[in-house]
Amino acid sequence: MTDARPDIDEMWGQLQGRIGAVASPWLRQLLDSVVMGNAERLRQWPAALTVHHAYAGGLLEHILKVAEVGQSVAAAYGVDPDLMLAGAVLHDIGKLEELQHDEVTTYTRDGNLIGHITLGVMMVREAAAAIPGFPPELRAHLEHLVVSHHGDRKLGSPVEPMTAEAFILSAIDDLDATLHQVRRHLQQDGIEGAGGGEFTAYHPRLRRVLFRRGVR
């Protein structure tokens, strides 16, 4: 297993392609506005300070994986693929305001005081308000995807998922973050671990050791 990271330009092209394929003109316009208005940061920002995808381009990588899996699951369960893509793109958009990324990544003042979920809702509402006639129900659905994507109030979501798309988004967001930690721990333990046995050292966040056999 390697830790090779996708090329930024390639990922950016994939994101543009997915947005261009959105059937809803309202969602396509809003996503174009948010993405192009934040293009420089979206191409470079990490997804987190330390937990997962904590490197340049990590947020874009995370968005694309959530979009890829989300739209596949949307097809399997017959839910709106455009809303799933919008949720993937927008659920962590507040991290552009929560984090400051230069030579090191730190929390901004608003990141500490407000947090990325609330900041993301503010960004989505502002983008929707700038589009004349944007449907209020669609705006509320998008905001719900953002505020519920942690899945549980105990995990920081102001509300819990109430729509099929929100349940799917929350599950896939958690899955991608968790699997990234799993893969990183397996690789780092393989490099740094002394024993090289069947199991890794204990991972405090995952609260378990990991089995090495059969991992590619």
Q: Identify whether 213 is part of a domain.
A: no
Residue 2 has a pLDDT of 41
Residue 148 in contact with residue 166, Cβ under 8 Å?
Answer: yes
Q: Identify whether 31 is part of a domain.
A: yes
Q: Identify whether 199 is part of a domain.
A: no
**What is the pLDDT confidence band of residue 131, given thresholds at 50, 70 and 90?**
very high
Q: Identify whether 45 is part of a domain.
A: yes
What is the percent of the chain where pLDDT is above 90? Answer: 68
Domain with residue 20: its CATH number is: 1.10.3210
pLDDT in tens, 188-201: 776 555 556 789 98
Q: How many folded domains does the chain comprise?
A: 1
**What is the pLDDT confidence band of residue 172, given thresholds at 50, 70 and 90?**
very high
**What is the pLDDT confidence band of residue 155, given thresholds at 50, 70 and 90?**
confident
Confidence (pTM): 0.88
* Average pLDDT over every residue of 171-198: 80
Q: Could you tell me which residue, 198 or 27, shows the higher pLDDT?
A: 27
Q: Identify whether 150 is part of a domain.
A: yes
Is residue 15 over pLDDT 50? yes
Is residue 93 over pLDDT 80? yes
Residue 210 has a pLDDT of 92
pLDDT in tens, 71-86: 999 999 999 999 999 9
Residue 1 has a pLDDT of 38
- Ranking 62-76, 124-138, 147-161, 176-190 by mean pLDDT, the lowest is 176-190
pLDDT in tens, 46-61: 877 766 677 888 999 9
Q: Identify whether 211 is part of a domain.
A: no
Is residue 89 over pLDDT 90? yes
Q: Identify whether 24 is part of a domain.
A: yes
- What residues contact 110, with CB distance under 8 A and at least 6 apart? 97, 98, 119
**Which residue segment(s) compose the domain that 160 sits in?**
8-192
Q: How open is the CA angle 205-49-1, to the nearest 5 degrees?
A: 65
Q: Identify whether 101 is part of a domain.
A: yes
Residue 51 has a pLDDT of 62
Integer Cα distance of 90 and 42 in angstroms? 11
